[in-house]
Amino acid sequence: MKQASLFEIPETYYVFNLGCPKNLVDAEVMATRLEEAGWGAVSDPEDASLLVVTTCAFIAQAEEESIEEILRISSAKGRRQRLVVAGCLVSREREELKNLLPEVDLFLAVDEMATLPERLVQTAGRMGRRGVRPYGRRILFTPPHLAYVKIADGCSNHCSYCTIPSIRGELTSLGREGILEETSCMVSSGVKELAIVAQDTGAWDMERGAGSGLYGLLRDIGEVVGEAVWIRLMYMHPAHVDLKQLVALFTADAICRYLDIPIQHVSDSLLERMGRGYGKRDLVRIFDYLRSRVEGLVLRTTVMVGFPGETEENHRELIGFLEDYAFDHVGIFVYSPEAGTEAASLGDRVPVTEAQSRRDEVLDIQMDISHERLQSLVGSAERVLVDGLLPAEERPLPGVWGIGRYYGQAYEIDGVTFLSGTAREVGSFVTAQIDDAQAYDLFASTGRNFD
């Protein structure tokens, strides 16, 4: 039986999304292509004739979780259901996956995901059965009021521990006009928050040799979507930050006063081993400049513990830096030696138990810092975007009716704001008074609609 004959006519599909927001955008594009070819989404995987799993392969733990999820889904799928596995893990380990997972009907690498309808069946004559969407409109797997805007793919930094260039290739920036058209379509359909993402957002357009055009692009997006929409900047590499232009965007309220800037570490020797392209002095300059010039700036970063050669002194140096600059949110992960990376061959390995202990110590310290940062908001009035209503059994306190986020909380990455008072529509902005703060979440009372 030929592979294509498994899917002779378009039917129904369900997507299990694993991985980062960049991966989510790829899945959204894939789903949009499916619907253009006549497939229909269902809310329950048991009702789908086609099951699709998008995978992550950034670190070993993500690979393991992806494989466990594939095995779980394959063991539960019905006789007439077909299973497709797509994304980063396939790009990295296709042949191994074919041997390990014979129950999978089709594997698609990252650069093949958008061709899923054609790979399932020759769709000539059926394309557009439900109407082909104009460029810029795509299905969203996020709430309708939130969308990720991927402005580039791949990465040319080649950090010594990272598999992204081997999975997604070198930096490839998407075109300005296409990005602007996409954001315009999203906002016209009701999107209230645009999260700008890439593997290295600050490097947008750099491969064309003229330096980063990100800041002009952000200004153009702001003009297209207007002041009523949040623009959130994610994944800014410290080596590719133009501080003056960035601060100008913050102070003009062109983008949310929120910055995600992964530092990984602060030890000069480790940063050099990682191939990050900057040193501690650069980080001090960046964060001194930002903290002194942007009132209310919320900072998120990511750090790695247990990298080969990390000493206890290096670890203490990292902790001291996090305490000095009081990051609002910190993602912490233990170094994972990945096959094919330069770092995997480095000596001076840190024992796993020691690395995990260092991670736990940073988590404890950062919990206190995050709580203190949120506690400073108590008594203030903040603009909050309503993300959802809570059923009675999920309400943490009597009177809480929903969850939302103030500008300092990125969707499904940071904490949330629990809302009480007068209920508002999902996807609306409200004024809320902050009543209390926990380690990562806020409690607030809603007031009038925020115009």
Question: What confidence category does residue 93 fall into, taking pLDDT thresholds of 50, 70 and 90?
Answer: confident
Most confident of 4-13, 30-39, 115-124, 229-238: 229-238
Least confident of 59-63, 88-92, 367-371, 403-407: 59-63
pLDDT at residue 450 in the model: 41
- Can you tell me the mean pLDDT for 335-363? 94
Confidence tier at 122 by pLDDT (50, 70, 90):
very low
**How much is the pLDDT for 364?**
97
Q: Where residue 313 falls among pLDDT bands split at 50, 70, 90?
A: very high
| Contacts of 198 by beta carbon, 8 Å cutoff, 6+ apart | 22, 150, 151, 152, 153, 204, 235
Instruction: Look at residue 449 in the predicted model and tell me its pLDDT.
Output: 47
Give the model's pLDDT for residue 75. 86
The pTM (predicted TM-score) of the whole model is 0.87
Mean pLDDT of the chain: 89
Q: What are phi and psi of 216, to 5 degrees?
A: -65, -40
Q: What is the pLDDT of residue 38?
A: 86
Would the pLDDT of 159 be above 90? yes
- Contact call for residues 429 and 192 (beta carbons, < 8 A): yes
Predicted confidence (pLDDT) at residue 130 exceeds the cutoff of 60: no
- pLDDT in the model for residue 413: 94
Give the pLDDT of residue 138. Answer: 84
Query: Rounded distance, CA 328 to CA 301, Å?
Result: 9
Least confident of 40-49, 113-122, 381-390, 427-436: 113-122
Helix 243-251 to helix 280-293 angle, to the nearest 10 degrees? 20
Please write the tens of the pLDDT for every residue from 208-252. 876 669 999 999 999 998 888 999 999 999 999 999 999 999 999
CA–CA dist 53, 15 (Å, integer): 6
Cα separation of 57 and 23, whole Å?
A: 11
CB of 245 within 8 A of CB of 219?
no
For tokens 């299973």, the residue is 83
In the sheet that holds 258-260, the strands lie side by side as 146-150, 193-197, 230-233, 258-260, 298-305, 329-334
Contacts of residue 220, Cβ cutoff 8 Å, sequence gap at least 6: 176, 180
Give the pLDDT confidence score for residue 95 in this predicted structure: 85
Which residue has better confidence, 207 or 362?
362
Q: What pLDDT is recorded for position 218?
A: 96
Q: Which residue has the tokens 């006549």?
A: 38
Percentage of the chain modeled with pLDDT above 90: 67
